[in-house]
C-alpha cells in the first residue's frame, strides 16, 4: 500500500517571503501521479499543482512550484511571494497510474502567512 507523509504539521511564513512544504511517499509502483491540494477554512479542497512521475521536469504554476526527487520519493511544494490568501491546510496526495483512481493523502501542513 502507498503511504504519504508530511512531517511538518505547521509552518509559517512572512508575507512576500518563500516557504517550502515537505512531502515524502512510499510506493513500489513506477507509474503514478502526485498532487498538492489546498484546503482553506471553508473546507473546499482545491488543486494547486500536479506532477506526473514519468516527467523529470518539475511542475510550476505561477508562484507555486515543486521539487520532485523520484529516487528519494520526495515531493516538496515551494510557494514564492507568499500572500495572505495562501494561508490554508496543504495536503500532498498520491494517485496510482495503474491500480485505481483513489487519492492517498498525507496528514497535512497548516500554513500561516504573517502580514
Partner 1 sequence: GAGVSQSPRYKVAKRGQDVALRCDPISGHVSLFWYQQALGQGPEFLTYFQNEAQLDKSGLPSDRFFAERPEGSVSTLKIQRTQQEDSAVYLCASSTREAPLYEQYFGPGTRLTVT
**Residue 109 and residue 19: Cα distance in Å, rounded?**
12
**Residue 11 and residue 28: Cα distance in Å, rounded?**
30
- H helices, E strands: number in the chain: 0, 12
Residue 44 makes contact with partner 1 by CB under 8 A: yes
Residue 13 has phi, psi (to 5 degrees) of -150, 150
Supply the minimum distance, in Å, between the C-beta of residue 20 and partner 1: 19
- Of all helices (H) and strands (E), which one includes residue 31? none
| Site string (51-80) toward partner 1, x via CB under 8 A | -x----------------------------
Stretch that binds partner 1, among 11-19, 20-28, 34-42, 69-77 (CB under 8 A): 34-42
Contact residues: partner 1, CB under 8 A: 4, 33, 35, 37, 42-47, 50, 52, 91, 93, 95, 100-108
Amino acid at each position: 500500500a502507498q503511504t504519504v507523509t508530511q512531517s511538518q504539521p505547521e509552518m509559517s511564513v512572512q508575507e512576500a517571503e518563500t516557504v517550502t512544504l515537505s512531502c515524502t511517499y512510499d510506493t513500489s509502483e513506477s507509474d503514478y501521479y502526485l498532487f498538492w491540494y489546498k484546503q482553506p477554512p471553508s473546507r473546499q479542497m482545491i488543486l494547486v499543482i500536479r506532477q506526473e512521475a514519468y516527467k523529470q521536469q518539475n511542475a510550476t504554476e505561477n508562484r507555486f512550484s515543486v521539487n520532485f526527487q523520484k529516487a528519494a520519493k520526495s515531493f516538496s511544494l515551494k510557494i514564492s511571494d507568499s500572500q495572505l490568501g495562501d494561508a490554508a491546510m496543504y495536503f500532498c496526495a498520491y494517485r496510482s497510474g495503474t491500480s485505481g483512481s483513489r487519492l492517498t493523502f498525507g496528514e497535512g501542513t497548516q500554513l500561516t502567512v504573517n502580514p
